[in-house]
Structure 1
Amino acid sequence: MALNNWSAWAHGLPLRSTVAALATGCALFGAEPARAQTVFDVIGPHEYDLPVNFDPFNVFVQYAYVQNDSQRWDANGDLVDGSGAQRIVGLSKYVHFWTPDFNRNIGLAWEIIQPEISIRDRGAVDPADRHRSGFGDTYTGFAAWFKPTPQSTLGIQSFLQIPWGDKSVSDGNWKNLTSMLWYTPLIWELDWTGDAGFMWQSPLVDGVKPGTTFYTNNRFGWRVNQWLEPFIALDYEHSDAYGIVPESWVFDGGLGVMVFTYKGQSITARYSTSFKGQNHSDNNSWNLKYVYTW
Structure 2
Amino acid sequence: MKTFPSRAGSVLLATGCMAAAGSACAGGIPFAGNRPQSFEFPLDYDQPYNSVGQFVQYTSDQRVFDAGGNKVDGNGGHTFVGLTSLLHYWKLDGLPQVGWVGSVTIPEVRAQGRGFSASGIGDPLVGGLAFVKPTPTSTLGLQALVQVPIGAKEVTSDTWALWPSAFYNAWFGDRLNLDVLVGGVLRGTTHRTGANDVDAGNTLHANVRLGYGLEPVRYDRGVHTIPFVGLDFQKTRRAYDKETGLVLPNSDSRETAASVGVLFQIQRAKTYDQFEIHYAKGVNGRNTSVTNGVFLQYWHYF
The answer, yes or no, to whether TM exceeds 0.5 is yes
Q: Distance in 2 between matches of 1:265 and 1:71?
A: 35
1:144 maps to a residue whose letter is: A
1:194 and 2:180 matched? yes
1:91 maps to a residue whose letter is: L
> Per-residue CA shift, 1:93-149, capped at 9, x if unaligned?
00000111111111100000000011121x11xxxx3x3211001110010000111
**Counterpart of 2:200?**
210
Q: Which residue, 238, 245, 248 being the options, matches 1:244?
A: 248
1:117 maps to a residue whose letter is: V
Q: Which residue, 93, 115, 120 being the options, matches 2:112?
A: 120
**Counterpart of 2:18?**
30
**Counterpart of 1:10?**
none
Q: Which residue, 82, 85, 91 being the options, matches 2:77?
A: 85
Q: Which residue, 91, 101, 107 being the options, matches 1:109?
A: 101
1:33: how far off?
A: 3.5
Structure 1: 4+ residue segments shifted above 4 A: none
Q: Which residue, 27, 40, 45 being the options, matches 1:49?
A: 40
1:182 and 2:168 matched? yes
Q: Distance in 2 between matches of 1:283 and 1:59?
A: 29
Q: Distance in 2 between matches of 1:49 and 1:25?
A: 17
1:262: how far off?
A: 5.5
Q: Under a length normalisation based on structure 2, what TM-score does the superposition of the two structures give?
A: 0.87
Q: Distance in 2 between matches of 1:199 and 1:171?
A: 13
Q: Distance in 1 between matches of 2:87 and 2:260?
A: 26
Q: How big is the alpha-carbon RMSD for the aligned residues of Structure 1 and Structure 2?
A: 1.5
1:69 alignment partner, SS class: strand
1:177: how far off?
A: 0.4
1:40: how far off?
A: 1.1
1:137 alignment partner, SS class: coil
1:20: how far off?
A: 2.5
Q: Which residue, 155, 169, 173 being the options, matches 1:169?
A: 155
2:154 alignment partner, SS class: helix
**Counterpart of 1:230?**
227
**Contact 1:53-1:105 at 8 Å conserved across structures:** no
> Per-residue CA shift, 1:48-71, capped at 9, x if unaligned?
111114221100010110101010
1:57 maps to a residue whose letter is: Y
Q: Distance in 2 between matches of 1:150 and 1:25?
A: 28
Aligned sequence identity (%)? 25
**Contact 2:130-2:142 at 8 Å conserved across structures:** yes
Quickly say closer, same or farther: Cα 1:245–1:100, change in 2 above 3 A: farther
**Counterpart of 2:278?**
270
1:187: how far off?
A: 5.8
**Counterpart of 2:263?**
258
Report which stretch shifted further, 198-207 or 215-224. Answer: 198-207
1:235 maps to a residue whose letter is: D
**Counterpart of 2:136?**
150
| Unpaired stretches in structure 2, ≥5 consecutive residues | 218-223, 240-246
1:215: how far off?
A: 0.3
1:34: how far off?
A: 3.5
1:71 and 2:57 matched? no
**Contact 1:108-1:145 at 8 Å conserved across structures:** yes
1:150: how far off?
A: 1.0
**Contact 2:18-2:154 at 8 Å conserved across structures:** no
More strand by share: 2
**Counterpart of 1:293?**
301
1:251 maps to a residue whose letter is: T
2:284 maps to a residue whose letter is: K
**Contact 1:53-1:106 at 8 Å conserved across structures:** no
Q: Distance in 2 between matches of 1:245 and 1:154?
A: 39
Q: Under a length normalisation based on structure 1, what TM-score does the superposition of the two structures give?
A: 0.89
**Contact 1:236-1:251 at 8 Å conserved across structures:** yes
**Counterpart of 1:12?**
none
1:35: how far off?
A: 3.6
